[in-house]
């Protein structure tokens, strides 16, 4: 400041007086112009504000009229009288009253009263309710019901006048109008504004259908945020919404929302358009520049100094915020969550005998990867932001919501009373109940939640968070939209799965796995035509580990690709020893998605000299449903190499015939569940016969697995299924047992008069 004073010394007295005079003249002239501009601008704004208020009031009245028009479309109808008043048809009421008014017109509650004004039907939200639910609304709806019965008139503003005037225009409604009455108003229900409308259910053509006092249709439309937002959108009034207090200020206007019976429903608040604002924001600043020119330099300097000071303070605040918050969602991050949890884990909280310590919840968005893959990462980011906002607004103030990364959120609830965990789960579920609007698309999203409480589930932050993570893992395994509370058994189960994963990885590295082969029999030729390769694992201490146990673990842990590659190499190399047999190999989705699969297959064919058409790859319908794989392209590549493709477990999934058109298959494998049903129901035979005929029509071989009895084998032969396999012929056998089995089977077939029965007996005996 001293340097500035020396550079710009104060002016002398005459110059100062001249400056003051000129400044005063400019100020007086400017004030007159400013006053004129301000008057015109404010007058324009005031006129527009009055017009907006009138449009809003008219829109509310039109909403009431529209509700009656919507009721009329169903209530004044012969079918409605026939199926509701004369003979109550619940299905008709659901379709034409309950679902129709809620889903088509957006009504929130629907009631039907009989001639004695007793409720016979109720529908709330998206489902039918007990008619007795009307009792809780009877006091609120009583006045409108009485108007529709002709017992009284609505007080103050009659919003049904426009509707009443319109009805005289329709000649075909003259009959209905003789016995029709209606009433509607805006009032408070449960302390919130709502439109209540009531109308008699009368015939529109055959007046003889009306017997006795007409039934009444009563509906309720909540004037909620969505309703008001739609009104604002139709009137081009931005940001029209409800507030609990007067928020007037600047270009924001609030006016009391008063119901037809004089009750206060809060305040309607919106951003007024202010057409006079350009005068105040463009012309007025130019005038102010001329008037304030003498002081502009000093004001600018002061503003720069203030701005620099504020910028420095803002940067410091932003740095502190970014260090403890997630950039995408604005929620606290992992370090801040852990620091807060550490503070909550006081000695008093974790003490022996306490059961009301803090609750930690881990939350994952279900199928978040699918949303990212199908809608793009920007949609995933927007979903993360919206989920964070909903969670932050749903939980109590003493709860901490944090984002750990990806689609993983964490919740810290300070007070853990006996029922707090369940209540917290309900709050989270409620936050996900409404659809999310992402890029103009409405999507429904659910979440999995794992909960752990101090001290029974952990006495340290690390232990509590780890157990919440385990509970989340179990919740996701159980399916979508699940909440799971931690217990000790979960940790043991997870530890067992991890142990199996480690042992399986070591078994693969040590070549401790083994391939078994189950023979495939031609029922027409009574000969072994091929084998199916089946993976087996015998652990030194655990014994035989079923594939149903270790295969899912391999899929989750990323071991499926090396495991599947090992099976491919072993099976194709073994096929080289059996030139007369085909080999069927199950192909996992992990292998199918791998771009190097064709190259590896080509190398194996080159190494073993096995003909590709002797190898059949079995895939499941789940692979065809996976949007992340280029299924068609990979199938065509494998087929062009000469390999055969079989659709496994046909009939157990979607079994869409469209798959058989879109994807070329060489074989269909009938699931064993149909085979085991042969002796119990004739429908199983009908289905199998149809599949066999379908296979023949599309030039596909049909294979049935799970044959365990002579009856099943002979029945499948009679139904025309050529290829069969199962324990009736042989269990899965080792590689060195395949050739002896084939020889024994062929010998048994040559000696048998009844090929299937004798051959199987001989084979099993061998």
4-37 confidence digits (pLDDT tens)? 333 344 444 554 555 556 556 666 676 777 777 7
Quick one: pLDDT at residue 579? Answer: 93
The domain in which residue 446 lies consists of: 324-486
* Residue at 644 is within a domain: yes
Q: Last residue of a domain, which of 486, 512, 535?
A: 486
467 and 511 inside one domain: no
Q: What is the pLDDT of residues 109-127, one digit of tens each?
A: 999 999 899 999 999 988 9
SS3 content of the chain, % helix, strand, coil (to 5): 50, 20, 30
383 or 540, higher pLDDT: 383
- Domain shared by 627 and 523, yes or no: yes
Q: Are residues 444 and 572 in the same domain?
A: no
Question: pLDDT above 90 covers what percent of the chain?
Answer: 31
Same domain, 667 and 639: yes
Contact 85, 213 (CB under 8 A): no
Contact (CB, 8 A) for 575 and 516: no
Distance of CA 308 to the CA centre of its chain: 46
Q: What percent of the chain has pLDDT over 70?
A: 86
Give the domain CATH number at 385: 3.30.70.270
- 473 shares a domain with 328: yes
Residues 537, 446 share a domain: no
Are both 419 and 533 inside the same structural domain?
Answer: no
What local confidence, expressed as pLDDT, does residue 707 receive? 92
Does residue 574 surpass a pLDDT of 90? yes
Q: Is residue 332 part of a domain?
A: yes
Structural domain contains residue 71: yes
CA–CA gap between residue 226 and residue 232 (Å, rounded): 10
pTM for the full predicted model: 0.50
Read off the tokens for 613.
């058409």
Both 524 and 471 in one domain: the answer is: no
Distance of alpha carbon 762 from alpha carbon 533, whole angstroms: 22
User: Residue 1's pLDDT is what?
Assistant: 40
pLDDT-derived band at 583, boundaries 50, 70, 90: very high
- Tell me the C-alpha distance between 171 and 208, whole Å: 18
Residues 603 and 740 occupy one common structural domain: yes
CA distances from 93 to 111, 206, 276 (A): 10, 20, 53
Rounded distance between C-alpha atoms, residue 648 and residue 669, angstroms? 5
End-to-end CA distance of the chain: 108
Q: How confident is the model at residue 321 (pLDDT cuts 50, 70, 90)?
A: confident
148 and 170 share a domain? yes
Domain assignment present for 290: no
Q: Which domain CATH number covers 681?
A: 3.20.20.450
pLDDT score for 10:
46
Q: Are residues 409 and 477 in the same domain?
A: yes
Q: What is the pLDDT of residues 93-109, one digit of tens each?
A: 999 999 999 999 999 99
Distances (CA, A) of 143 to 70, 154, 165: 20, 7, 22
pLDDT of res. 570: 93
Residue 653 located in a structural domain: yes
Domain count, the chain: 3
Residues 620 and 475 in one domain: no
Spatial strand order in the sheet of 408-413? 399-405, 408-413, 359-365, 447-453, 483-485
Rounded to an integer, the average pLDDT of 320-331 is 88
Q: Kindly state whether residue 312 falls inside one of the protein's structural domains.
A: no
Q: Domain for residue 402, yes or no? A: yes
pLDDT (tens digit per residue) in 271-313: 887 777 677 677 777 777 876 776 677 667 767 877 787 888 8
Please indicate, yes or no, if residue 570 is contained in any of the structural domains: yes
């Amino acid at each position: 400041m001293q340097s500035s004073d020396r550079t710009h010394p104060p002016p002398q007295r005459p110059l100062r007086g001249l400056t003051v005079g000129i400044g005063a003249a400019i100020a007086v002239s400017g004030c007159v112009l400013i006053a004129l501009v301000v008057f015109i601008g404010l007058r324009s704004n005031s006129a527009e504000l009055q017009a907006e208020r009138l449009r809003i009031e008219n829109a509310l009245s039109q909403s009431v009229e529209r509700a009656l028009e919507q009721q009329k479309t169903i209530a004044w109808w012969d079918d409605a009288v026939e199926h509701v008043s004369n003979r109550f048809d619940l299905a008709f009421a659901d379709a034409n009253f309950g679902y129709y008014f809620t889903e088509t017109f957006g009504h929130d509650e629907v009631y039907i009263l009989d001639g004695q004004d007793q409720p016979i039907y109720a529908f709330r939200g998206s489902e039918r309710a007990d008619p007795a639910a009307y009792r809780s609304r009877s006091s609120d709806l009583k006045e409108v019901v009485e108007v529709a019965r002709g017992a009284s008139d609505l007080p103050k503003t009659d919003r049904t006048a426009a509707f009443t005037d319109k009805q005289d225009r329709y000649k075909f409604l003259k009959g209905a109008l003789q016995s029709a009455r209606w009433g509607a108003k805006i009032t408070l229900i449960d302390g919130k504004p709502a439109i209540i409308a009531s109308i008699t259910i009368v015939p529109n053509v055959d007046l003889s259908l009306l017997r006795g006092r007409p039934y009444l249709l009563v509906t309720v439309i909540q004037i909620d945020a969505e309703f008001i937002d739609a009104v604002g959108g139709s009137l081009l009034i931005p940001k029209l919404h409800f507030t609990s207090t007067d928020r007037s200020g600047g270009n924001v206007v609030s006016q009391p929302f008063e119901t037809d019976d004089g009750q206060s429903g809060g305040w309607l608040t919106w951003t007024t358009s202010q057409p006079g604002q350009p005068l105040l924001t463009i012309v007025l600043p130019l005038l102010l520049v001329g008037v304030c020119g003498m002081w502009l330099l000093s004001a600018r300097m002061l503003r720069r100094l203030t701005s620099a000071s504020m910028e420095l303070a803002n940067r410091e605040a932003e740095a502190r915020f970014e260090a403890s918050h997630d950039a995408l969602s604005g929620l606290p991050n992992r370090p801040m969550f852990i620091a807060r949890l550490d503070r909550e884990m006081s000695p008093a909280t974790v003490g022996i005998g306490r059961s009301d310590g803090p609750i930690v919840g881990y939350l994952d968005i279900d199928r978040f990867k699918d949303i990212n893959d199908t809608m793009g990462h920007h949609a995933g980011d927007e979903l993360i932001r919206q989920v964070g906002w909903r969670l932050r607004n749903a939980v109590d103030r003493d709860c901490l919501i944090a984002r750990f990364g990806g689609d993983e959120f964490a919740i810290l609830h300070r007070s853990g009373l006996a029922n707090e965990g369940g209540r917290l789960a309900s709050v989270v579920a409620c936050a996900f109940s409404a659809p999310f609007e992402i890029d103009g698309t409405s999507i429904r999203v659910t979440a999995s939640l794992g909960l752990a409480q101090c001290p029974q589930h952990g006495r340290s932050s690390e232990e509590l968070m780890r157990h919440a993570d385990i509970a989340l893992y179990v919740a996701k395994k159980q399916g979508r939209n699940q909440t799971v509370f931690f217990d000790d058994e979960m940790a043991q189960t997870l530890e067992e799965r991890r142990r199996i994963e480690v042992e399986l990885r070591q078994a693969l590295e040590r070549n401790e796995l083994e391939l078994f082969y189950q023979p495939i029999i031609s029922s027409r030729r009574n000969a072994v035509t091929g084998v199916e390769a089946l993976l087996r694992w015998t652990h030194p201490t655990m014994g035989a580990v079923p594939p149903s146990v270790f295969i899912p673990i391999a899929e989750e842990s990323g071991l499926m690709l090396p495991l599947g590659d090992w099976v491919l190499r072993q099976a194709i190399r073994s096929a080289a020893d059996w030139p007369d047999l085909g080999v069927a190999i199950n192909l996992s989705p992990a292998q199918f998605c791998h771009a190097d699969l064709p190259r590896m297959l080509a190398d194996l064919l080159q190494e073993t000299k096995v003909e590709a058409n002797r190898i059949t790859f079995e895939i499941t319908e789940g692979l065809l449903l996976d949007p992340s794989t280029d299924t068609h392209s990979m199938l065509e590549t494998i087929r062009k190499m000469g390999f055969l493709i079989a659709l496994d477990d046909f009939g157990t999934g979607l079994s869409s015939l469209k798959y058989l058109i879109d994807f070329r298959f060489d074989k269909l494998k009938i699931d064993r569940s149909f085979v085991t049903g042969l002796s119990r129901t004739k429908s199983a035979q009908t289905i199998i016969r149809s599949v066999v005929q379908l296979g023949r029509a599309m030039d596909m071989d049909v294979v049935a697995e799970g044959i365990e009895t002579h009856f099943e084998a002979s029945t499948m032969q009679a139904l025309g299924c050529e290829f069969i396999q199962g324990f009736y012929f042989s269990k899965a056998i080792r590689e060195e047992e395949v050739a002896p089995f084939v020889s024994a089977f062929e010998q048994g077939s040559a000696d048998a008069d009844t090929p299937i029965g004798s051959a199987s007996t001989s084979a099993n005996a061998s």
